[in-house]
Amino acid sequence: MTNCPVCNAQVTEKAKFCSECGIQLTEAAFERAWIIAMQERIKSARHNDGLYNVVAIIGILLAVAIPFIMRFVLHYNMDTTSWALTGVGILILIGSVIGIWLDNHKVQQLIAQLEAGPQGEEEAEGGKEEPEGEKKEE
C-alpha cells in the first residue's frame, strides 16, 4: 500500500487512479500531483505571515508608542501600567519575530524538498524498496 500524493489516502501499488480524489497515479501524473501538493503545502505555510506582521506592528506600537506618548506628549513619568504595557509589547514583538522566522524556515525546507523532487524526498525518508522485477542494472 502507498499513499496518494494529493489527498494522502492509502491506495494499492497497482492502482491507476486514487479511489478518494481520482488523480491518475502513473509516474508522470504522480510527479505533477506531488508538485501541486508541495506547492499547496508551501502556500499554506506562508499563510500566517500576514497575521505575524499585524501582531508585530501591535507589539511595536505598544513597546514604542506608549513610552513616547507618556514621556514627550503627556509629560508624565512612566507609571507601572505603562511599563507593563511596554513589556507586553516587547514580548508580543519577540513572539511574532520568532513566529515569522519559524514560518520562513519551514517554507525554506519545503522549497528544498520541492527542488529535490519526489525521488529526493523518498531518499531522505530512507527510500522505498524497488520490486524485484524493476531493479535497475548497474
Q: Is residue 50 a part of any domain in this protein?
A: yes
Give the 3-state DSSP-derived string for 53-80, with helices as H, strands as E and coil as C: HHHHHHHHHHHHHHHHHHHHHCCCCCCH
Q: Has residue 93 got a pLDDT over 50? A: yes
Q: Which residues contact 117 (CB under 8 A, 6 or more apart)?
A: 31, 34
Q: Is residue 89 a part of any domain in this protein?
A: yes
Q: Is residue 48 a part of any domain in this protein?
A: yes
Q: How many domains does the chain have?
A: 1
Q: Are the C-beta atoms of residues 95 and 63 closer than 8 Å to each other?
A: no
The pLDDT value recorded for residue 72 is: 73
Q: Is residue 16 a part of any domain in this protein?
A: yes
- pLDDT, tens digit, for every residue of 11-40? 887 777 787 777 777 666 667 777 788 888
More confident residue, 75 or 102: 102
The pLDDT value recorded for residue 130 is: 45
Q: Is residue 130 a part of any domain in this protein?
A: no
Q: Is residue 131 a part of any domain in this protein?
A: no
Confidence of residue 121 (pLDDT cuts 50, 70, 90): low
Q: Is residue 135 a part of any domain in this protein?
A: no
More confident residue, 60 or 119: 60
Q: What is the mean pLDDT of the chain?
A: 76
Least confident of 6-20, 55-69, 101-115: 6-20
Across the range 58-71, mean pLDDT stands at: 83
Domain range enclosing 43: 2-123
Q: Is residue 28 a part of any domain in this protein?
A: yes
